[in-house]
Copies of this chain bind each other. A is one copy, B any other.
Amino acid sequence: MSGIKSRVLRIGEMGEFAFIRSIQDGSHFSPEGLIKGIGDDCAVIGPYQDRVFLITTDLLVEDIHFIWDRISPVDLGQKAVAVNLSDIAAMGGIPRHLFLSLAIPPAMGVETLHSFYQGIKAMCERYDTNVLGGDTSASPDGLTINVTAIGEARGDEVLFRSGAKAGDKIYLTGTLGDSAAGLRLIKEEFSAPAPLAAVLKEAHNRPQPQVEAGRVIAQSGLATAMIDVSDGVLSDLGHVCGASGVGGILFESALPISNSLKALAEINNFNPYELALSGGEDYQLLFTVPREDAGQFETIFQENSSSPIYCLGEITGEEGIKIVRPGGVREEVKVEGFDHFSGR
C-alpha cells in the first residue's frame, strides 16, 4: 500500500473566508424576530416596541491577535472591549451589555489578570456598558478572550453595510494609518523619536470606538450605509460595496493622514497613503450619504458631534474599487481581507 494515503483537506489550506461561506448557509431556523444574521458588523434582532438589539462577538487569541511583549494587560482589556463596541457603533447603536469568556493559562499572574480586567471595566464604564457575566476556564496554552457585546438602537435608525447607492458620498470619521504605523513601530520595523512613537503606538493599542459619531450619523436619518474600518479602508469599503452591489472611487489626496503619520513617513521614507489604504485597525466609521443630502448632513454632524469628518470619494454603479492617484490616474484595486489561517 506504499504511497497511498487519504488526502485530508486542512482548514489552513481551505482558508478562513471559504470556510465561513461554507457554513453560513441554512443556519436560520426561525426567522421571526430576526432582522439580520451573518454578514454585517452585528446581528440584529427585534423589533421590540421600537427597539432592536445589535449583537457582536470577537475572539482574541494569544500569539494570533496579540503578543504580550507588545501590549500591556490594561490596554489589551480596553482593546478587547473597544473592538466590539466599534461594531455596535458601526450600525448606529448604543452599547449596553458585555459578556467575557476567558481561557486562562494557570501560570498567569493574578496581577496581570486584574490589570486586564481593569482595562475591561474602564472601557465599559466609559461607554455605560454592563459586564453581565461570561465563562472562565483554564487554558493548556495561551490566553484566549471572547467578548460578546449587545447594543440597542431604534429600529428605523440602524445602518447596514448594504444600503450604499451610486452617487453617494463616502465619509470617514478620522485619520487612517496611525494604528498600522503604531504596530510597525511596536514590531521595530520603523523607528521614531519617543514622543512621536508613543502617539502612534497608542493609536494601535488604545483604539476608541466611535460610538458618539455613530449615533449622530444614524440619527441624522440621511446616511445609507456604515461600517467600521477594522480590516483597512480598502477592504472595508469593499465590504460595503459588495453588500450593496455597487462600486467605489477613493481619491488618494482626500485620505486623512495625521501629522504624526506624515512625520513618521518622512523619517522612515515610506508613502503614508499606502499605509492609510491597506493598514487595518483604525476603528473609524466609514459611511455613505446621498450627494443631494451631503450639505444638510455635514451641518447636522458638525453641530452634534465632536469628531471630524472627511469625504474620501463616492459610490459608483460599476462594481469594483478604484483609486484616483494624485496625478489623476485611476487604478482598479484588488481587495481581500486578512485570512487568519494563511496569515495573508
Contacts and interface: CB of A to CB of B under 8 A. Distances in A.
Contact of A130 (B37, B51, B125, B343): B37
Interface string A86-113: 0000000000110101111111111101
The SS class assigned to the A binding surface is mixed
Interface stretch (A55-63, A189-197, A264-272, A305-313): A55-63
A230 to B, nearest CB: 12
B106 A10 contact: yes
Interface residues of A, number: 80
A15 to B, nearest CB: 10
Contacts of A39: 133
A141 interface: yes
A24 to B, nearest CB: 8
A171 to B, nearest CB: 26
Interface in A1-22: 8-12, 14, 16, 19-20, 22
What are the nearest 9 A-B pairs in CB distance?
A: A12-B106, A48-B48, A27-B131, A141-B141, A43-B132, A146-B146, A30-B128, A59-B101, A59-B135
A254 interface: no
A94 to B, nearest CB: 10
A70 interface: no
B28 A137 contact: no
B138 A37 contact: no
6 contacts: A8-B110, A9-B109, A10-B110, A19-B110, A59-B135, A104-B341
Nearest to A30: B128
A104 B59 CA distance: 11
A144 interface: yes
Contacts of A239: none
